[in-house]
Amino acid sequence: MNVLTNLVLHECTLAPGTEWKEPGPGWKVVLVTKGFLYWIARDEVRELNADELLILSPAVDGVLRASQIGPVELRYLHLQTEDLMGLMSFSERLSAGAGSPPTQTRILSAQDPIAREFAALAGKLGKRRDFSYRCRILNLVGMILAKRCRSRLRVPGPRHRRRCCALRRYSPAFLTPI
């Protein structure tokens, strides 16, 4: 499990006019700390200013391009929900990974609570590896994914729960009956 690298904010400085794309699958959360840049995808181009937060689901594909005017400083989080197996249920990981067009790309203003929390974490340069810092990043991940997971999960009724309990009682996965 790669939880420690999942729960760390990274830094990047882009020269004017250069492109950046974080390799690998997973969620990307990017805070522009200085300058401005453009999110360029197949069907959209959006401008991001300082203190705005870009959230990209695993299903989206595109690049960030720095403005020609000056350099851009980023703080970003690259998250793979598969690495959070002990923290997220299987159905939560599936719903977080499933991309639907309206929620693939989100840009949050500096006043949004998620953007403010990310900016506060990005400002704490000295304490990046301690336990409480990683817990705050985990809370941030929860804030980002909570609505998405809640809206896609169906709560099973009592009949379904009884059937699951009956199946589990005699399932080969359990060697002895309950």
pTM of the entire predicted model: 0.72
The CATH code of the domain that includes 102 is 2.60.120.810
The better pLDDT of the pair 2, 132 is held by 132
pLDDT of 65 reads 95
Q: Which domain holds residue 88?
A: 3-169
CA angle 70, 17, 56 (to 5 degrees): 100
How much is the pLDDT for 133?
A: 84
Structural domain includes residue 63: yes
Q: Is residue 38 part of a domain?
A: yes
d(CA 163, CA 178) in angstroms, rounded, equals 14
In a domain, 137, yes or no: yes
pLDDT digits (tens, 9 = 90+) for 140-174: 888 888 766 554 444 455 544 444 444 444 444 44
Residue 153 is predicted with a pLDDT of 43
Instruction: Determine, yes or no, domain membership for 177.
Output: no
Q: Is 175 among the domain residues?
A: no
Torsion-angle region of 24 (φ positive above 0: left; ψ -120 to 50: alpha; else: beta): left
The verdict on residue 110 lying in a domain is yes
Domain count, the chain: 1
The pLDDT, as a whole number, for residue 116 is 92
pLDDT digits (tens, 9 = 90+) for 15-36: 999 999 877 778 889 999 999 8
Residue 143 lies in a domain: yes
| In-domain check, residue 141 | yes
